[in-house]
Amino acid sequence: MSKLRALTMPKWGIEMVEGTIAEWKVTAGDRIKKGQVIALIETDKIANDLECEFEGTVARVVADAATVYPVGALLAVLAMEPATATEIEDFVRSFRAAAGSAAAESPGTAAATATAAAPPPTTAAIPKNANISPPARLLAEKLGFGVGQLRGSGRRGRITLQDVDQASKPAAAPAAGKPVSVAVTTAALDVFHASAYAKRLALKHAVDLSRLKGTGPRGRISRADVLKSAATPPAAAASSQSFTIEKFTPMRKVIARQLTLSKSTIPHFYLRMRVRVDALMALRERIRKDGGKPPSVNDYLIRAAALALIDVPQVNIQVHGEEIHRYKHADVAVAVATDRGLITPIVRCADTKPVAQIGSEIRDLAERARAGKLKVEEYAGGSFCVTNLGMFGVDEFDAIINPPQGAILAVGALQRRFVEDAGSVTFANTLKLSLSCDHRAIDGAVGARFLSALRDLIEKPLRLIS
Partner 1 sequence: MAKMMLREAINKTIHDEMERDKNIVIMGEDIVGGMGTAGGPEAIGGIWGLTGGLYAKFGANRVIDTPISESCIVGAAAGAALAGKRAIAELMFADFVGVCLDQLYNQMAKFRYMFGGKTKCPVTVRITYGAGMNAAAQHSQAVYSMLTSIPGLKVVMPTTPADAKGLLTTAIRGDDPVMFFEHKTLYGISGEVPDGEYLLPFGNARMTREGNHASIVTCGQLVRAAEKAADALAKDGISCDVIDLRTTSPLDEECILDSVENTGHLIVADESPPRCSLASDIAGLVASKAFAALKAPIEMVTAPHTPVPFARELEKAYLPNAAGIEAAVRRSLAYRH
Q: Please, are residues 435 and 450 in contact by the beta-carbon 8 Å criterion? A: yes
By CB under 8 A, the residues from 44 to 83 that bind partner 1 are 62-64, 67-69
Is 215 a binding residue for partner 1 by CB under 8 A? The answer is no
Peptide bond preceding 70 in cis form (omega within 30 of 0):
no
Return the number of other C-beta atoms located less than 10 Å from residue 387's C-beta.
21
Q: Which of 27, 86, 94, 113 binds partner 1 (CB under 8 A)?
A: 113
Q: Choose the stretch contacting partner 1; rule: CB under 8 A; options: 142-150, 215-223, 278-286, 303-311.
A: 215-223
Return the number of other C-beta atoms located less than 10 Å from residue 212's C-beta.
19
Q: Please, are residues 329 and 349 in contact by the beta-carbon 8 Å criterion? A: yes
Q: Considering beta carbons, is residue 178 or 328 the nearer one to partner 1?
A: 178
Burial class (CB in 10 A: 0-12, 13-18, 19+), 383: buried
Q: Considering beta carbons, is residue 199 or 432 the nearer one to partner 1?
A: 199
Return the number of other C-beta atoms located less than 10 Å from residue 57's C-beta.
17
Is 218 a binding residue for partner 1 by CB under 8 A? The answer is yes
By CB under 8 A, the residues from 170 to 189 that bind partner 1 are 170-172, 174-186
Is 13 a binding residue for partner 1 by CB under 8 A? The answer is no
Q: Which of 1, 14, 85, 110 binds partner 1 (CB under 8 A)?
A: 110
Q: Taking the complex as a whole, how short is the minimal distance between the CB of residue 165 and partner 1, in angstroms? A: 8
Bridge partners of 385, per DSSP, are: 333, 408
Q: Taking the complex as a whole, how short is the minimal distance between the CB of residue 196 and partner 1, in angstroms? A: 4
Is 256 a binding residue for partner 1 by CB under 8 A? The answer is no
Q: Taking the complex as a whole, how short is the minimal distance between the CB of residue 57 and partner 1, in angstroms? A: 21
Number of amino acids touching partner 1 (CB under 8 A): 49
**434: helix, strand or coil:** strand
Q: Choose the stretch contacting partner 1; rule: CB under 8 A; options: 29-37, 194-202, 273-281, 376-384.
A: 194-202
Q: Please, are residues 192 and 199 in contact by the beta-carbon 8 Å criterion? A: yes
Q: Considering beta carbons, is residue 234 or 321 the nearer one to partner 1?
A: 321
Q: Which of 158, 193, 268, 325 binds partner 1 (CB under 8 A)?
A: 193
- Rounded to 5°, the CA angle 388-394-399 comes to 50
The residues near 249 (Cβ < 8 Å, ≥ 6 apart) are: 340, 341
Cα dihedral angle (322, 327, 330, 336), rounded to 10 degrees? -40
Is 265 a binding residue for partner 1 by CB under 8 A? The answer is yes
Can you tell me the distance from the alpha carbon of 339 to that of 252, in angstroms, rounded to the nearest whole number?
11
Q: Please, are residues 330 and 306 in contact by the beta-carbon 8 Å criterion? A: yes
Q: Considering beta carbons, is residue 131 or 265 the nearer one to partner 1?
A: 265
Q: Considering beta carbons, is residue 163 or 311 the nearer one to partner 1?
A: 163
From 205, 320, 329, 439, active-site residue:
439
Is 244 a binding residue for partner 1 by CB under 8 A? The answer is no
Is 155 a binding residue for partner 1 by CB under 8 A? The answer is no
Backbone angles phi, psi at 413, to 5 degrees: -80, 155
Residue 439 appears among annotated catalytic residues: yes
* Helix H or strand E encompassing 326: strand 323-326
Q: Please, are residues 197 and 227 in contact by the beta-carbon 8 Å criterion? A: no
Is 85 a binding residue for partner 1 by CB under 8 A? The answer is no
Residues designated catalytic: 439
Q: Residue numbers of the site for partner 1 (CB under 8 A)?
A: 62-64, 67-69, 105-110, 112-113, 115, 162, 165-166, 169-172, 174-186, 193, 195-197, 200, 216-218, 220, 222-223, 261, 264-265
